[in-house]
């Protein structure tokens, strides 16, 4: 659910606001890296298996957003 909603948001925001998407791309990359590091350290502190799975899936969400952003921005540059 988290990945699907973010994919839709990124897809439509890049189409509707291509200049703003290009301008804020470095900020999105930094926030993704911070999210990866923060959720990884939070995962290490957990002892409940449900929380471990939840935090680790959120940690894997950062590269997902990076890949979608990179591909979409490169696609918009070609058009």
**Mean pLDDT (whole number) for 10-39:** 81
Confidence of residue 65 (pLDDT cuts 50, 70, 90): confident
CA-wise closest residue to 55 among 38, 71, 69: 38
Beta carbons of 28 and 65 less than 8 angstroms apart: yes
pTM, 2 dp: 0.68
**24 burial level (CB within 10 Å; 0-12, 13-18, 19+):** middle
Cα 38 versus chain centre, distance: 13
Distance between CA 72 and CA 74 in Å, rounded?
5
- Cα 60 from Cα 15, distance rounded (Å): 25
Q: Is the pLDDT of residue 1 over 80?
A: no
């Amino acid at each position: 659910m988290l990945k699907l909603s973010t994919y839709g948001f990124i897809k439509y925001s890049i189409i509707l606001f291509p200049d703003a998407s290009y301008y804020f791309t470095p900020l999105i990359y930094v926030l993704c890296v911070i999210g990866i590091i923060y959720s990884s350290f939070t995962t290490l502190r957990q002892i409940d298996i449900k929380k471990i799975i939840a935090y680790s899936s959120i940690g894997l969400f950062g590269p997902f957003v990076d890949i979608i952003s990179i591909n979409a921005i490169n696609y918009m540059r070609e058009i």
